[in-house]
Amino acid sequence: MAEPLTLLWLQSGGCGGCSLSLLNAEDPHLYDTLALSNIELLWHPSLSEAGAGDFIALLEAITGGRQRLDILCLEGSVMRGPGGSGRFHMLAGTGRPMMEWIRELAGLARYTVAIGSCAAFGGITAAGVNPGEAVGLQFDGARRGGLLAEDWRSPGGMTVINVAGCPVHPGWVTDTLGQLALGELDDQELDEFNRPRSYTDHLVHHGCPRNEYYEYKASAEKAGDQGCMMENLGCLGTQARADCNIRSWNGGGSCIKGGYACVNCTAPEFDTPAHAFLETPKVAGIPVGLPCDMPKAWFVALASLAKAATPERLRRNAVSEHSEVPPSSGGKGT
């Protein structure tokens, strides 16, 4: 059997939510996935039993060339402050900023993977005035170039692989690791933001449980209503690149299934919208956030026709927390 791929997981400026999400991997679960992919987990700050001294010894073995590193995963943004020194986030026991360790290890690992939108683009940690000078590994928001240069390539010839999301779906991570293990992930399998196309070739809109309401433009008016949340409640599912409603979370959930509008968390700068998350900005009554791949004039025309044809059942149920009008029994099939 071939030698296993080695994986080192580091956490920087973030909440650890992507690791918590990853632990919900199922069919197979995380450890089975790693075993099936022939990946050896060298270190994870939440999962490894080894102490701090062993961890530092591991880092020194990698940088000293005594331990091979195939996959470096970073969760959380890179903290460069204050003044580019990185001293807001020192790696305890080493006397060095975490950003220096990340840069050095990325130069040694065959592949480098950004886990979550913070590691990919800066994310929540970089929102607002950003006193910590947080950035992503190879992006600063939507702009190329973060800790690493925009033209940076790993020893394996790849850009940073941005498994974006807040948090990531565990399947996005395990699929990416599996593709790397099989040698099936290259530039053609990444989108324009270096995200794996295995999940970003879809829209959150695909498989949305509220699609019938969307088709007739039967819109929710307040939180808790059953209707489509695009027109009034800020839902970006028709623009967000992810398969959240196709590949369920935790057995069957998603943000929209839980009654919360999609905020497009896989995209750079989702964390700093120009309006409240749960509000849809409009111009002359027309939502600004229209579907990304449909001409606006067509959408407006079709929306007007759809509203005129909305069944009373959908019109009433859209602004209710529970279905008030059931479907009619209909005619007999032929």
**Can you tell me the distance from the alpha carbon of 124 to that of 273, in angstroms, rounded to the nearest whole number?**
12
Percent of the chain with pLDDT over 70: 97
Is residue 90 within a helix (H) or strand (E), and if so which, with residue range?
strand 90-91
- The predicted structure's pLDDT at residue 66: 98
The CATH code belonging to domain 202-321 is 4.10.480.10
- Classify domain 5-199 at the CATH topology level: Rossmann fold (3.40.50)
Q: What φ, ψ does residue 73 adopt, rounded to 5°? A: -110, 130
pTM of the shown model: 0.93
Q: What φ, ψ does residue 79 adopt, rounded to 5°? A: -95, 110
Q: Where in the chain is the domain with CATH 4.10.480.10?
A: 202-321
Is residue 79 within a helix (H) or strand (E), and if so which, with residue range?
strand 78-79
149: number of Cβ within 10 Å: 10
Give me the helix-helix angle, 52-63 and 98-106, nearest 10°.
40
Identify residue 334 by its one-letter amino acid code.
Answer: T
Q: Where in the chain is the domain with CATH 3.40.50.700?
A: 5-199
| Cis peptide leading into residue 281 (ω within 30°) | no
Dump pLDDT digits (tens) for 61-106: 999 999 999 999 999 999 999 999 999 999 999 999 999 999 999 9
Q: Which of 282, 286, 266 is nearest to 274 (CA)?
A: 282
